[in-house]
Structure 1
Amino acid sequence: MDWILRPEHAPHRVFEREEWANLRADTPLTLDEADLARLRSLNDPVSLDDVVTIYLSLSRLLNLYVAATQELYTATRTFLGDRDGKTPFIIGIGGSVAVGKSTTARILKALLGRWNNTPKVELITTDGFLYPNAVLQGEGLMERKGFPESYDLPALLSFLSDIKAGSDKVSAPVYSHLVYDIVPGERVTIDRPDILIVEGLNVLQTPRLPRDGRAVPFVSDFFDFSIYIDADEADIHRWYVARFLRLRETAFRDPNSYFHRYALIGEVEAIEIAERLWTRINLVNLRDNILPTRPRADLILRKGEDHRVEEVALRKL
């Protein structure tokens, strides 16, 4: 496949589905069908077999990484003479719209929170750090929503910095997909987690570096491990349109929905609108901003046309 370099030159080692499944070792399955039904996103048909084959091995890998990283943090605190404090392990999950980031994030949160030592695992999406619609409209950015410039990057960096410093009760804005906007005055609080999962379109994005060498922090600077959910462009396109049509029959029917107008039109017109939104906005964001970050991930989950993860690429140490 042309999605990664030749094996001898590539920064990642590629595993086929069954080969990756064998790395599960004795990691127990702690989810059942009822759990999975609550964790699935709309139009993402992840199965319990996918959990066993892909996510249990990933859970085992992360368990090892967290333990090793915490030892490193402890050594650093010892060197600095800091006796107290806890440094959360932060996992970033990126990829296109409709590719299954939210399902992956929720499955990992559930699995990681059920380890024998039962760590405190929290999940946050970068949607909460989008500028409010009023700001985006004022700047002419409503059709760039989800692009890097539509996020309040200083606020996101400040949030992650406070989390990494071990601060207690760090808060973030709340985004509503129903009203397609930040909820005024509403905050979510993250209180000293052992593991924080950060999910979003552009979490692996890097800004242009200044020529004078000034420090420019990236969101991914705060990650201890990063995951990119990958698939062929044509498959993501198809999943996006199918999800739009499902939403038209479900969430869009709520009169309070920002997209309620799409529930009142015929299917042919709805498909035309979904195609335009994909081509004009989401495809551009994928090609220009999201896909170029794929090589930066520590782990790439490559999906096939049926949403199943067919290959896993793990960065070589």
Structure 2
Amino acid sequence: MTEISETDLADLLRRTSVGRSRVLVAVVGAPGSGKSTLAETLAGALPQAQWIPMDGFHMDNATLAAQGTLERKGAPETFDAAGFVRFVRALASGQQAHYPTFDRVADAVVPQGGRIAPDTHIFVVEGNYLLLDDDPWRELARLWDVTVTLEVDEDELERRLVERWTRHGHPPEDALFRAHNNDLVNARVVRDRSRKADYVIRFKA
């Protein structure tokens, strides 16, 4: 992996997109790493670029409850991984017009909640498991043109995650419990079971 700054990454994507009909960029990171912010910033800074979060591929709560994984929502097995792989494959071939989004207030997926602009040729896709080296996630590896991962120390991740849950109305003890019993568990999955990205952006406190 090559360390890169956000500014240099934007410049690299501009160069990479020249003469190409579409470029697929994977922005990977643990919960709380800042991947959504980076992806949204990149898409806003680049011509004909669009930010697409993976969150719309959460399984619905009823399905998770039935399979006993609702408390682990956000883990790899709580996503429609096969559906996401099909989506990215269609995106790469220019055959996708919409994508599902996730309503955090309702804690529910909105089917076809997002529309892909017809002139988009840089797709900045962000999510935890875009480089996961497990089936069927590993099928994504050949579809990305550029991959970047965000590295943040676990102490800083904990601080951000507790702050996030507190901001969503949870008391401090519950926020800490959620961070340690789900989010940071998923962060270690991202760290330990993902392929290496082309580039890395490291958070420096």
TM-score clears 0.5 = yes
User: Equivalent residue for 1:187?
Assistant: 113
Q: Aligned equivalents of 2:88 and 2:59: distance in 1?
A: 17
Q: Aligned equivalents of 1:208 and 1:160: distance in 2?
A: 15
Task: State how 1:167-178 maps to structure 2 within 5 Å.
Answer: 167=95, 169-178=96-105
CA contact (8 A) 2:128 2:190 kept: yes
The one-letter code sitting in structure 2 at the alignment partner of 1:175 is F
Deviation digits for residues 50-82 of structure 1, max 9, x if unmatched? xxxx332221111222237x3xxxxxxxxxxxx
User: Equivalent residue for 2:42?
Assistant: 108
User: Equivalent residue for 1:301?
Assistant: 201
CA 1:13–1:160 in 2, change beyond 3 Å: closer, same or farther? closer
User: Equivalent residue for 1:162?
Assistant: 90
Which structure is larger by alpha-carbon Rg, 1 or 2?
A: 1
Q: Aligned equivalents of 1:123 and 1:208: distance in 2?
A: 25
Shift of 1:247: 3.0
The DSSP-based 3-state class of the residue aligned with 2:27 is strand
CA contact (8 A) 1:97 1:282 kept: yes
User: Equivalent residue for 2:174?
Assistant: 273
Q: Aligned equivalents of 1:163 and 1:151: distance in 2?
A: 18
The DSSP-based 3-state class of the residue aligned with 2:168 is helix
Shift of 1:295: 5.4
CA contact (8 A) 1:159 1:170 kept: no
Q: Aligned equivalents of 2:14 and 2:154: distance in 1?
A: 32
| One of 150, 160, 165 as aligned partner of 1:229 | 150
CA contact (8 A) 1:93 1:226 kept: yes
Shift of 1:293: 4.8
Shift of 1:304: 1.9
1:286 and 2:184 are equivalent in the alignment: no
Deviation digits for residues 184-210 of structure 1, max 9, x if unmatched? x5532224420111111111112159x
User: Equivalent residue for 2:125?
Assistant: 198
The DSSP-based 3-state class of the residue aligned with 2:150 is strand
Q: Aligned equivalents of 2:135 and 2:141: distance in 1?
A: 14
CA contact (8 A) 2:161 2:183 kept: no
Runs (5+) with no aligned partner, structure 2: none
Q: What is the TM-score of this pair, normalised by structure 2? A: 0.90
Relative CO higher for 1 or 2, CA cutoff 8 Å, sep ≥ 6? 2
Q: Aligned equivalents of 1:295 and 1:186: distance in 2?
A: 29
Q: Aligned equivalents of 1:13 and 1:201: distance in 2?
A: 19
Runs (5+) with no aligned partner, structure 1: 1-11, 15-19, 21-53, 71-85, 114-119, 210-215, 249-261, 263-269, 306-317
User: Equivalent residue for 1:128?
Assistant: 56
The list of structure 1 runs, each at least 4 consecutive aligned residues, that deviate by more than 3 angstroms after superposition, is none
The DSSP-based 3-state class of the residue aligned with 1:98 is coil
CA 1:223–1:13 in 2, change beyond 3 Å: closer, same or farther? closer
Deviation digits for residues 19-41 of structure 1, max 9, x if unmatched? x6xxxxxxxxxxxxxxxxxxxxx
The DSSP-based 3-state class of the residue aligned with 1:90 is strand
| One of 95, 106, 110 as aligned partner of 2:29 | 95
Q: Aligned equivalents of 1:13 and 1:127: distance in 2?
A: 27
Q: Aligned equivalents of 1:161 and 1:194: distance in 2?
A: 15
Give the total of aligned pairs: 204
